Amino acid sequence: MDEEIRYFVTYLEDEKKASRNTVMSYHSDLAKMMHYVESQGVSSIDAITATMLNSYVLSLEKSGRAASTISRYIASMKAFFEYLVRSRRLEEDPSFRLKAPKVEKHVPGILTISEMEYLLEQPSAVSPKGYRDKAMLELLYATGMRVSELVHLSVSDINLRFNWVICRDGDRERMVPFGPKAGAALTQYIDQGRDCFLKKEHMDFLFLNCSGAPMSRQGFWKVLKSYARKAGIEKDITPRMFRHSCAAHMASNGAELHTIQEILGHTDLTATQVYAGFQPHMKSEYSRVHPRGREES
């Protein structure tokens, strides 16, 4: 059974481009599961049954494991067995009916998809400021990045050819994809708007204010508030609500929690568990799980 885990780890590293921490987390979770089934006399992956996995989950609950930890183990098992079935190493998925326990966490405030789409329509598409604001809002929603990461972006952090952005949080960095709508807004801003704000020749910050200085967190907050009022949104909208909305909308469209963890830059999956309640089923492709990750038909 170790061989199947090795195949899965290789898949995570080579195809999913998962971080080292995520790979280690999967490996640790699956090793615990394998230890349990081996203690039950099982030596091959195709001998693992749904009943056995359910017994494993019950044993975790009896041992006093936190609901968030058990949910993470179940998410790891589901991803593992889904991979085995998809790669035809296994005929049936024994984890299909496993359900994660309820994690008692405060559900973050989010905008509905229709509210978010209406908000994103507010910046004017005929002025440098409108181009800038549109690009900021679209990118923030597309990636779920923190506002501190947004305002510290450099022009060189954006790859418009492959629609990737490098986000930095302290000494950690990650690459996050964005969809075509964010790409179009960024292209328009960089090509037609940014030079209008530029006062210094060698300024590399992506988003600038009217004085030519880097956009600040407070400056962005004011921009967001003005468009929320213009859109008639009565919720007490905050920049962090964009991050929560991105994650919740992806989860509701089928994103795996590990995918959301990677995009948001959470070091531990337990921080991502708050979005588990939005999941109807499990898929992973970004273009299929982000509301603005698809090309216009």
Q: What is the pLDDT along the chain (297 residues), one digit of tens a residue?
A: 788 999 999 998 888 887 777 888 899 999 999 999 999 998 889 899 999 999 999 999 999 888 878 888 998 999 999 999 999 989 999 998 888 776 655 556 888 889 999 999 999 888 999 999 999 999 999 998 999 999 999 999 999 999 999 998 877 788 999 999 999 999 999 999 999 999 887 889 999 999 999 999 999 999 999 999 999 998 888 888 888 898 888 888 888 878 888 888 887 777 777 777 665 543 344 555 566 665 554
* pLDDT in the model for residue 25: 87
232 in the same domain as 128: yes
* pLDDT in the model for residue 97: 87
Strand segments, DSSP code E, in 98-234 are: 158-159, 164-169, 172-177
Domain boundary among 66, 81, 104: 104
The three-state secondary structure class of 214 is strand
* pTM score, whole prediction: 0.60
Q: What is the CATH number of the domain that holds 15?
A: 1.10.150.130
* pLDDT in the model for residue 19: 74
Q: Distance between CA atoms of 264 and 275, rounded to whole angstroms? A: 12
Report phi then psi at 207, rounded to 5: -105, 120
Which helix H or strand E contains 125, and what residues bound it?
A: none
124 in the same domain as 32: no
Task: Quote the number of domains for the chain.
Answer: 2
Q: Distance between CA atoms of 132 and 274, rounded to whole angstroms? A: 32
149 in the same domain as 91: no
170 in the same domain as 82: no
Domain boundary among 249, 265, 280: 249
119 in the same domain as 245: yes
Q: What is the CATH number of the domain that holds 220?
A: 1.10.443.10
Domain boundary among 104, 122, 138: 104
Amino acid in position 173:
E
> What domain range is 215 assigned to?
113-249
